[in-house]
A and B are shown apart, each in its own frame.
Chain A
Amino acid sequence: MLEVIKPGLETSIQDYPGRIGYLNLGFPWSSAMDSWSLRLANILVGNDAGAAGLECQFIGPSLKVQRDTVIAVTGADMQAKIDGAEIPMWESIAIGAGQVLEMAFAKTGARGYIAVAGGISSPEFLGSRSTFHKAGVGGMGGHAIQKDQVVPVAQGDGRPGRKVKESARPPIVTDKQWTVDVVRGPNDDWVDDAGHERFLSTQWKLSAKSDRSGFRLEGPDWTFNEKAYDKLPEHGSDPANILDQGYPVGAINLAGQTPIILVNDGPSMGGFINPYTVPQCAFWKLGQAKPGELLSFEAISVDDAQQKARDITALCSEDSIE
């Protein structure tokens, strides 16, 4: 019951945690890149934190609402308006039948999120409504929403005037520089000490050739340990080649000399090494980073990464609403 007037650049239906359990068939999780923002948007409108909403990339959509309901807009600041009047973000808002929610370009951050009371009710595929564009599954017809489509929404009972406390919102940077957590491994022993030092001390530029399957990083070349050269031919001859293996979601995948962060729609398996992995607690930052912005990486322990994810999940709750 959201009529698409303008689709935006790439507006897709995503839920949380996504299509879990099918990596062994090659299906990625998909889901919202900044799930912190999606979860809070859902809580604002009275949905389960993981309900399906809209992820709006760089430029948001214009949507005509077909029945009275309650919405919330979170994530990147896309200058949301209803019938031309600016509306606050991080707050549940009543919208009437026939009114138009209009989003523009992202002033800060990269991805805005829209939740609607009741949640989007497009068909599930393998247990999730998340869109996986590359294989054309999930969402509506497997792709980003298109002009004149009507996005179905289930019945909900949201209340307007609920706000997310300032302290519970993801701190989206305005200076185009991000510090992103990484955990060393799984293939860290293929890179030499100088290579590790260089990776952690470089400000990497997020390439324009990035999408929901991979974030390419521009920066210096990598150097390797003996292990990367002295190996069986089955691995492939390039130092970054390894006998094909399952990839962790968030792997920093070294394709030759180009590091690519395998994000939500990334490949599940392949033959390049992964010296580092971005843990789930830092995915929201990737979701809010624009091409051209700078990323530096800070190594943390597995335990710390897990605790940080728990801290974010704790914030995605009723306690964060005022």
Chain B
Amino acid sequence: MIYAEPKCSPGGDRFMLIEFGDELTLALNFFSQGLARAMIEQKIKGVVETSPCFSSLSVHYEPDEVHYDDLRKEILALANSLGEADDVEVESRLLYFPAVYLDPWTTAAMKEYREKINPEKEPDPEFIAQLNNLDDVEQFVRVHSGSEYWCAALGFWPGTPFLMPLDPRCQLTAPKYNPPRTFTPRGTIGMGGGSTAIYPVDGPGGYQIFARTPIPIWDAKQRLPQFESQLWLLQPTDRIKFIPCSVEEFNEIERKVEEGSFVMNIIDYQKVSLQRHQAWVEQLDLNARF
């Protein structure tokens, strides 16, 4: 649902969390991003930095400059003045990400988790397919790779995208691991709750995992031109389309990335219109799946 009034809660002595609703919609993310932008543009007193996510906004403020209650009032007034965001359109890059679904690397990580941590854990792709009433893992791959993904936020680790499918027919959900995995290979694509993420580096993780991309989203070695001025690739409002590929293609792309010769496929002339997206979503048959 979308809350009638944004809900503000304190996070310690210098953070405020503002929640606009509790669902995964493009409208709520446009609103969080829009309010974050407006707070910076209007130089709201005491605001140091903001961190918008799917349907909420975390604000870091300086208590010597503004009292919590005054900041709350100011943010609510600004949120009111923004009103409905449904006539907004934003520039949006489209990035193609080859990805091996049901790949050997995430399969090995799942196996290690079963051996070391939880022998009861079902393989993640089968588990997600079953939970979302899909026929089999092949259908899961078709559904997951069937939509463009909207980069709603960056966070968790530098440059890590929080992604949601723009096609609601591809909206899947999954619980997070409990307890988390100790190892996930770099480039792994996973899901937790309704969001999809890409792991920028090897590390622990809590999402269900099922695919791997050779496209780097973080590169401290700065091997490709996209990393010349910054170490991360993505920004909020980007769209990613996963293109299923083979292990051989993965290896070839990885080799080219390593030697710095890989050409990234990034389309940069389009805009995403919230209104047009909503109109399209409204006429879809949400029960029809690929």
Q: Which residues of A contact B (CB under 8 A)?
A: 20-27, 134-137, 142, 183-188, 231-238, 241-251, 255-258, 267-272, 274, 277-281, 302-303, 305-306, 308-310
A246 x B195 contact (CB < 8 A): no
- Of B10, B192, B203, the most chain A CB neighbours within 10 A belong to B10
Q: Taking A233-B193, A242-B193, A255-B206 as given, write out 7 further A-B residue pairs in contact, using a Cβ cutoff of 8 Å, ordered by the A residue number.
A: A187-B17, A232-B23, A238-B176, A244-B153, A249-B60, A255-B180, A280-B13
Q: Which residue of B lies closest to A187 (CB)?
A: B9
A26 x B12 contact (CB < 8 A): no
| Complexed CA–CA distance, A22 and B175 (Å) | 29
A22 x B49 contact (CB < 8 A): yes
Known contacts: A267-B157, A271-B195. The answer to whether A183 contacts B13 by CB under 8 A is yes
10 A-B pairs in the complex with CB atoms less than 8 angstroms apart: A21-B48, A23-B49, A134-B203, A234-B194, A235-B193, A247-B58, A248-B12, A255-B180, A271-B193, A271-B206
Q: Which residue of A lies closest to B155 (CB)?
A: A269
A243 x B159 contact (CB < 8 A): no
| Complexed CA–CA distance, A188 and B7 (Å) | 13
B9 x A186 contact (CB < 8 A): yes
| Complexed CA–CA distance, A185 and B68 (Å) | 14
Q: Which residues of B, 40-81, contact A by the 8 Å Cβ criterion?
A: 48-58, 60, 63-64, 68
Q: Which residue of B lies closest to A305 (CB)?
A: B13
CB distance from B75 to the nearest CB of A (A): 14
Q: Which residues of B contact A (CB under 8 A)?
A: 9-17, 19, 22-24, 36, 48-58, 60, 63-64, 68, 153-160, 162, 173-176, 178-180, 192-195, 201, 203, 206, 218, 220, 231-232, 236
A137 x B173 contact (CB < 8 A): no
Known contacts: A25-B159, A235-B22. The answer to whether A274 contacts B11 by CB under 8 A is yes
List the A side residues contacting B53 at CB < 8 Å: 243-246, 269
A21 x B179 contact (CB < 8 A): no
Q: Which residue of A lies closest to B218 (CB)?
A: A135
B10 x A185 contact (CB < 8 A): yes
- Of A21, A24, A186, the most chain B CB neighbours within 10 A belong to A24
Known contacts: A232-B22, A243-B24. The answer to whether A267 contacts B155 by CB under 8 A is yes
In the A-B complex, list the 7 residue pairs whose CB atoms are closest, starting with the nearest.
A246-B58, A269-B155, A248-B11, A234-B194, A277-B12, A248-B15, A246-B51
